[in-house]
Copies of this chain bind each other. A is one copy, B any other.
Amino acid sequence: MKTNDKVLIIGAGLCGSLLALRLAQRGYKVEVYESRPDLRKVDISAGRSINLALSDRGLKALRLCGMEEKAREICIPMYGRLMHDTAGNTFSSNYSGRENEYINSISRGDLNAILLDEAEKHANVTFHFNKRCQKVDIENTIAHFKDYETDEEFTIDATVLFGTDGAGSILRKSYYLERKFLFSYSQNYLNHGYKELEIPADKSGNHQISNAHLHIWPRGDFMLIALPNMDGSFTVTLFLSYDEGEFNFENLTSEEKITAFFEKEFPDALALIPNIKEEFINNPTGPLGTVKCAPWFYKNNTILLGDSSHAIVPFYGQGMNASFEDVVVFDEILDKNLGDWEAIFKAYQKARKIDTDAIADLAIDNFYEMRDHVANPLFKEKRKIEMDLEKYFPTQYFSKYSLVTFNENIGYNEAMTRGRAQDKALLNLVADDAVHTNLNMTKEELKVILDKVKEETNAILEEDKITGM
């Protein structure tokens, strides 16, 4: 590939903007087409998560592009989960036993805006808004667009085309429909959907509940979560079945039922959401889907990056981080000077797909963990031990959550494999009373536990290896 190649990017969301910035920094001539209006000029947040969790993998990608500091200015650190029961009692559970490990609540729109601003500083990148891609002729690398403002239809012929057009990717749809190769593809929906609500700031513009936590109201079949915004408000998200259980999106159709549901299940949250009825009825219910596919690329011509290639459910807070990490991995492959785009695409997919598959599976796991397990005594005991191990042995113990979230230099797949074995080891040791715990354990007592967990984890990994031969 050469820097005078005409690079076309479809989609100026988070991944597309960061990719455009990075390719511009590397000297490529980049054109970016986005179906929505410029989000710096109009509010287009409706129906999309307006805040997101930014953690170490995402920060590493921002650092690569010189954007870490600017992003941190609009971050709100969240140090742990704060669980709320139906009586309004809370208990907290830190994300890590190491003090410097936390996740950040950040506005999708504000982050997207600073990436667009930075990319536009480069003369070799141009953004075009309100231009919707309708299909891609993958054989000839020609994208077909429609201008939303003029209704005009036009085509762009590129040397290479990147589809960063999100979970509903048009490029991916073209792969599926053109049938030029065997395209492995999956879209899997949970039976749950989500709906966003708001806890406004108090009269002084301050947060009404702790802004240093991600709040969770876990109820088994459904749950509510809340992440803080810079303006003192919280974005609240209800995850609920479409059609199963006593309460679901299909039967919560009247104001009385909605209020009754919240009064019974989330009374403390209800007290903080003044517009519950309007918001519940007017805000859209979104689906929760996982998309995997392969191959991501076609010849020298086109490639999927970000959510278009691996949309995941939001329960590990890794969607944006995974998409940003794509840019890091792609950038590393570019450094290898492999010659042509197809060789680059092939090397990128080979390096990357195992990890995006893993985070997709981890995110589904965490759906069940957050709904069902966080309030389970065995799980709470396990988390308590893990926090102590991380605190006293900060260089020796990393929980699965920590491996996934705070260890950006190991891949998601390794984090999953090690993390799952470790979880299994620890849960079984706790269940068997093989490790004895008390409120204030000494470092010596914890060392005994650490050694047992390590030994058990290695035994599990070894047994799995033999079974898989």
Contacts and interface: CB of A to CB of B under 8 A. Distances in A.
Interface of A: 182-189, 242, 287, 289, 292, 372-373, 376, 378-379, 423-424, 427-428, 431, 463-464, 466-467, 469
B186 A188 contact: yes
Contact of A376 (B188, B292, B378, B469): B469
B184 A463 contact: no
B469 A428 contact: no
A6 to B, nearest CB: 28
Nearest to A379: B469
5 contacts: A182-B287, A184-B187, A372-B469, A379-B469, A428-B463
A286 to B, nearest CB: 11
Contacts of A187: 183-186
Nearest to A182: B189
Residue of A185, A287, A376, A423 with highest tally of chain B CB at under 10 A:
A185
A242 B294 CA distance: 15
Oligomeric state, in copies: 2
Nearest to A431: B466
A449 B187 CA distance: 44
Contacts of A189: 182-184
Contacts of A469: 372-373, 376, 378-379, 427
A5 to B, nearest CB: 25
A380 to B, nearest CB: 12
A185 B184 contact: no
Contacts of A378: 466, 469
A418 to B, nearest CB: 14
B184 A423 contact: no
A185 B182 contact: no
A242 B184 CA distance: 14
Nearest to A188: B184
B427 A467 contact: yes
4 closest residue pairs by CB, A with B: A186-B186, A182-B189, A424-B467, A184-B188
Contacts of A289: 182, 184
A372 B468 CA distance: 11
Contacts of A372: 469
A170 to B, nearest CB: 15
A90 to B, nearest CB: 22
Nearest to A420: B467
A424 B185 contact: no
Contacts of A427: 466-467, 469
Contact of A186 (B185, B242, B379): B185
Contacts of A182: 189, 242, 287, 289
Nearest to A459: B428
Nearest to A177: B177
A20 B186 CA distance: 31
Contacts of A373: 469
